[in-house]
Structure 1
Amino acid sequence: MSLYRTDVISVEEYFQIRESSEELLEYIDGYVYMSSSPTIKHQRISGRLFLCLGKFLEGSSCEVFHAPMDVELSSEEIKGTKIVIPDLTVICDKEGFTAQRYVGIPSVIIEILSPSNQSHDLITKLNLYMDYGVQEYWIVNPMLNSVMVYTLNDKGMYEQHDLKIDKGTISSKVLQGFRVNLEEIFQD
Structure 2
Amino acid sequence: NRDPDIGSVGTRQLNDDGSTPDTVRRFPNLLAQVVRRTSLRNWPLLKGIAEYYEYVEFDYFKSANVDWLQSSFMAISREVWGEIGGFDNRYFIFMADPDICYKCWELGYKVHYESEIVVGADGLRCSDGGFKDVFTNRILRYHIRDAFIYHFQYLLKPNIPTARKLQGRRSENINYEQ
What TM-score, normalized by structure 2, do the two folds share? 0.28
What TM-score, normalized by structure 1, do the two folds share? 0.27
Q: Which has the higher helix share?
A: 2
Q: Which has the higher strand share?
A: 1
